[in-house]
Amino acid sequence: MTLDVRGFNYLSTTSYWPEWHVQSRRVEGTVDRPMQLGDKVVEYVSLNPDDKEKLVAVEWTVVDRWQSRMYRIEARPVIDGRVTEEVVSAISYVLFPTGDGGTDFTREMNIVSPREMRHFDEFKKLQDKSVENIKTALDKRFS
């Protein structure tokens, strides 16, 4: 079985994040190609999807990547234009071929910061919706 890397390239090219992630509004940095180990991007997110004007910045760094099958990114808040040392979350994507020639993926998010846990239920709903959006976007692009 072979792995269709187009899905990996879509997930790891940050210019596409605002297309599918319900909180993402824009990205800066490495945006025009799949992220590589050590690449950084600043993402501006809306913590409340109903308030699209108030944005929070986080810097994502690729801390692990294996071929076109897996990558892991970590987020640090950007406060007053400076990136903090505190890692607040990490996301891993792992892609694998299916028996019918397609590609499936898993997305695992770890929240490290206790302040993010205050609104966990709402946050989880937003993340679940974003994963649904990924699947829809991939189906539209590659089926």
CA distance 128 to 38: 27
The residue ranking higher by pLDDT, 129 or 2, is: 129
pLDDT of residue 68: 84
Residues 29-46 have pLDDT tens digits of 989 999 999 999 999 998
Largest Cα–Cα distance of the chain, in whole Å? 49
In sequence order, the β-bridge partners of residue 44 are 26, 57
Residues 45-69 have pLDDT tens digits of 987 767 667 899 999 999 999 988 8
Residues 69-116 have pLDDT tens digits of 899 999 999 999 999 998 988 999 998 887 777 778 888 988 776 655
- Record the tokens describing residue 77, joined without a space: 């808040």
pLDDT of residue 119: 65
6-142 fold = Alpha-D-Glucose-1,6-Bisphosphate; Chain A, domain 4 (3.30.530)
pLDDT of residue 113: 67
Q: Is the Cβ–Cβ distance between 62 and 14 less than 8 Å?
A: no
The β-bridge relationship of strands 89-97 and 82-83 is unpaired
CA distance 129 to 112: 21
- What is the pTM assigned to this prediction? 0.85
H helix intervals, 15-114: 17-20
